[in-house]
Structure formats: structure tokens, C-alpha cells
Amino acid sequence: MFKILLTSIVMVSVLFLRPDTAAAEEDFEDGVDPNHTDVREAIQAYVDEELSDSFASMYIDRDERELGVLVFQFTEMPDDSHIDAMHALTDDDAVLDIREVDMTEQELQSIQSDIDADGFSRDGFSITHTATMIQNGTVEVGINPYTDEHADALYDQYDADTITIVEGQEATVDSGEPDVDEHAVQEERHDLFQRILDWFRNLF
């Protein structure tokens, strides 16, 4: 009997300690999809059908709200009937914000491509990265070393209203994996299993 119970509890513990299980649980906040997938796709389908000519971009703003705000941007603000229709597609957990912007995501990506095509090695400095920033309607350009003179050279070459120059960093290799103290993780798991074993031994 002891072995059966022990085997069961160990199997359950292993299941809940698996990294992929923990990651899956983090995808939801109290049972709410933080990406609001169903609502987002429903609104996007409506936009594609009714407002494709003025649609600029969409993103989820997590600065204003932990669960995110669905931001749909247009080059021309939709009329009230369309705005009401989009809000009607939300639920109690989703927040929708509709904004007017000057440029579409595709237009910003085109500007980014032009900058990239001109090369990353410039006179006295290097471009470390470029990125389409739909949140503020510009293309971010990182340069190293950063000086006002170098920044002005790019502002003069490209439309100053469409780019933002920031200080860039030298390229480094990033595996994309967070630093984890494997020893500490193993110790924590060992302690948990030991407590489980001790608890069962005390039952008999």
C-alpha cells in the first residue's frame, strides 16, 4: 500500500514540477487568456472585412494593464458605428483602445528595409539594430557610438519624423534562455520529495 501511494504522489509531483507545465500555467491569469485570442481574432476579422483600407497595425499594450489592452490603430479614425461594432466584440476581460496614427506597419517596415539596405557601417559609427515601433509610429535605429552628430546625420538622410535614434549596444550572442541556478532547482526538488517521503512514513 505504501509503495502504491508513494508511486502515485511521486508521479503527480513530477508532473507539476515539469517546466513546460509551469509555463503553460503562466499563459493564463486566473483563467483569463492574457492575449485575448478569441476577441482579438474576432475584431481583426471585422477590421479585415470593413476597415482594411485604413487599418494600420495592432498590438497588445501591457504597460497600462497587466492583462493587456488590445490596441487597433488606423490611419483614419473609424466612424462611431464601426467603433461600437468593435467594442461589441469584446468580453468582460478584454479592453479595446482604438487610435489614429500616421503610418501603417507596412510603411514603417518599408522605411526600416531602406535603412537596412543602405548598410550598417556608416561614417564614424555603426547601426547596431533597426526595429519597427508601431507603438509610437517610428523606426528605431540604434547607433554606436552615439553622438548628436551621428544622430543628426541619420535624421538628415531619412525623414526625421519617421525614425528615432537611440544608443545601441555592441552585438552579443544571446541564447534567449534565462539564467537559472540548476543546483538550487535540484535542491528545491530534492527537499520537496524528501518532505513527501517523510509525510508518508509518518502515516505507517
Spans in the chain with pLDDT lower than 70: 1-31, 171-204
Please give the residue range of the domain that contains residue 45.
36-100
pLDDT given for residue 147 in this prediction: 97
Q: Which pTM value belongs to this model?
A: 0.66
3-state SS class at 67: coil
Please name which of 50, 70, 170 lies closest in space to residue 120, comparing C-alpha atoms: 170
| Residue 204 counted as domain residue | no
pLDDT given for residue 171 in this prediction: 56
What's the pLDDT tens digit per position in 34-82? 899 999 999 999 999 999 999 999 999 999 888 899 999 999 999 999 9
Same domain, residue pair 44 and 78: yes
Q: Could you tell me the CA-to-CA distances from 115 to 89, 131, 142, 152, 155 in Å, in that order? A: 39, 10, 11, 15, 11
Same domain, residue pair 91 and 110: no
Same domain, residue pair 96 and 115: no
pLDDT given for residue 32 in this prediction: 78
pLDDT given for residue 66 in this prediction: 86
pLDDT given for residue 176 in this prediction: 47
Query: Where residue 93 sits, what CATH number does that domain have?
Result: 3.30.300
